[in-house]
Structure 1
Amino acid sequence: MHMILFSAYSDLLVMYTNQDDLIIGIPVVGRNHKDLEDIIGMLVNTLPIRRYPNPNKYFSDFLHENKNNLLDFYNYQDANISTLIDKLGVKK
């Protein structure tokens, strides 16, 4: 369900913004280590998903491609977004 809703949301953003390159941040759980299980609080990490829209692609093809991309991106969910921004030298 998440992948279907994310695909529909990203298509809607592409329609409204008319952009050729889109990055959408999605929240992911930040409790992947056994040491963090007993800590009280909300631990969330932001996972940036990059999307290049193609108007000639069917939604079902886009959904399948999006599913594969999201599953690949979840492998990198432990990377901290602020550390990544600092290492890339992006100005805030």
Structure 2
Amino acid sequence: MLSCKEITKLVSESLDRELTWRQRVGLWMHIGMCGMCWRFRKDLIHIHEETRRQAKRIEDETGDSAEQLPIEARNRMKRLLESHQG
């Protein structure tokens, strides 16, 4: 069975990509038995959805979008995120 640490990583990844069949089964088996991971998933999905809503609201109000972020800033953010995934 997957550990809670592995589950939190899978939950996060599932917001960005489709998990493999094996990963989905492992995730759901664990979440079915672990209330803390179930709650983590629920909270993370809520944060993800709310962040998207707020970004859309700001974009609608200002006309600005994330696409206008300078390429240098996007690259710095990407490198920072990649360094923390390991």
Under a length normalisation based on structure 2, what TM-score does the superposition of the two structures give?
A: 0.29
Question: Which has a greater percent of strand?
Answer: 1
Under a length normalisation based on structure 1, what TM-score does the superposition of the two structures give?
A: 0.27
Q: Please identify the structure whose Cα radius of gyration is greater.
A: 2
Question: Which has a greater percent of helix?
Answer: 2
